[in-house]
Chain A
Amino acid sequence: MTKQRRIATLVILVLAALLIGISWFENLREYKAAGLPASRFLDHRIEAGGEPGESFFLYYAANNDDKRVPIAFENDALPNLHLDPVYLYGDYGRLRLYRALASFRPVDEDAKPREEPLVVTAMKVYYANGDSAEMPIGELIVNAGAAVRSDDTAVLGTSKPAASTEPGGSASAASSLAEFASGGASSNGSGYGSFTMNESATLRSVTSAYTAVLGDAFRMEISVNGKVSPLPVAVKKGDQVKIAYAFFVTESSKLAMMPLSLRLAAELVDDQGKTQLRPVWAEHAPYPTKTALRQFAKAQRSDTP
């Protein structure tokens, strides 16, 4: 082997070793950057009416090598909230997302109706290895009772429950000012809900506990019979009211990993001054891109002392 050939071979081997070293260094760095300091629930913002049939998802994030794998969630404060077993929602390399469906069941007839909204901030997590821990979930607001109220000074969700409820609505079908017509949602964060008026009324407002928090990341548009209408707007019997919404969440935003379930309450006031709230649900599921996951993990690390 000539000297020149030896030098060329050596240079090639050194370059190859360098490339291999860079590959390991960068991948280990990325692996470390994507890891959570501890497993946890995602930061939820959920509004619920607590009516039978109403459901939402709870998300739990853990590192892929975490031996404490969640199998069940539980909350004693909500006896009519049924939680399905936890399952693996997505495997994103370093991180795993688990999910469980939570749904409200009918309450016992002798159960005392709740007159104040309940704010749940933690859930008990049961793990496969027998451990359990109470962990923060963000915020779950369960509105009190149904939506019929007799005065217009009451705050959303503090009204007394109605005699009967229907899934997707809060007032009984017999006395309801409006009834559900259609609804839909897209994976791009947009959706709509519409209802048909049973009586003439004034649509005064559409509110949610979280619209102010979301700011520009959430927009909605109200239209009556296909025509965009500013509020308040008078609606007649047979009119179709559509509430279209869209979440504008970038993958680097903190909201990208925040499960959101908004209960957009359309406030309808009839001719006698009685108010009914017609809910439309707007949901945003976490969109775990690599960037979103990295931001999420980074935020957790910076929050951990």
Chain B
Amino acid sequence: MRRSCRLLAWGLLLALFDFRIGGIDLLPDALGYLLALIGLSRFADRHPALRAGQFFAAGLLLLAVASFFGSRGISTPLGERDLLVTPARLSYSALAVALSLALTCCLCVGLGRLAETSGSRALGGQFQVLLIFSLLHGGLLLFLLPFGLNGYRDLTLGTALIGGALGIVLTISLIVLVRRAGRLPDIDAGDVHLS
């Protein structure tokens, strides 16, 4: 469980950050989600929410692969990269946000429950707080995203700030909590079911 949680945490970290040289991401999201999926699959049978989380991680992996190979940019005649907001691109972003939110929720519920069962009510509570903030963040982001279609620049900027800064904070918090959950001594004890 400890190693699996570490793998999951590393996967989430890799997916969070981009390190680009010459336009190529040396830390591809697909690799991150693959690690996360492998890590999660090792203890997913401990809780229904974690089992569901596997599907969302797999969805994110597919989306990251599609994004890596597919071109999402339309170049303008002047050669500049066009940051055009189209329904197709927004749908892609929305799907990524929704899947990411769903994965976070599954991890918070599943690992939170495992932590409580193993006697760490504090960690369980922290997962619950993170769950609430993640739901608020994801919900607000999904609500604001389509405004970018119609040139509401302030809202689009707000979306970018919320999606970027707060998203990073929440994901790092999740990574920290996942690592803590992996260190709990009794977390390997038996299956736990959602009550």
Contact = CB atoms under 8 A, between A and B. Distances in A.
Given A20-B139, A20-B143, A23-B143, A31 B74 contact: no
Contact of A94 (B76, B147, B151): B151
Interface stretch (A65-73, A179-187, A201-209): A65-73
Contact of A93 (B77, B94, B143, B151): B151
Contacts of B142: 20, 23
A69 B139 contact: no
Interface residues of B, number: 18
Contacts, number: 49
A210 to B, nearest CB: 32
Contacts of B152: 93
A91 B142 CA distance: 24
A65 B74 contact: yes
Interface string B136-169: 0001001110110111100000000000000000
A71 B77 contact: yes
Contacts of A28: 87, 146, 149
B73 to A, nearest CB: 12
B151 to A, nearest CB: 3
A67 B73 CA distance: 12
Interface string B102-142: 00000000000000000000000000000000010001001
Given A16-B139, A19-B143, A65 B150 contact: no
B89 to A, nearest CB: 10
Given A16-B139, A20-B139, A31-B87, A67 B74 contact: yes
A173 interface: no
Contacts of A78: none
A252 interface: no
23 contacts: A16-B135, A19-B143, A23-B142, A23-B147, A24-B146, A26-B146, A27-B147, A27-B150, A28-B87, A30-B149, A31-B87, A31-B150, A34-B150, A64-B84, A65-B74, A69-B76, A71-B77, A93-B151, A94-B149, A94-B150, A94-B151, A128-B76, A129-B77
Closest 6 CB pairs of A and B: A93-B151, A128-B77, A27-B146, A31-B149, A20-B142, A16-B139
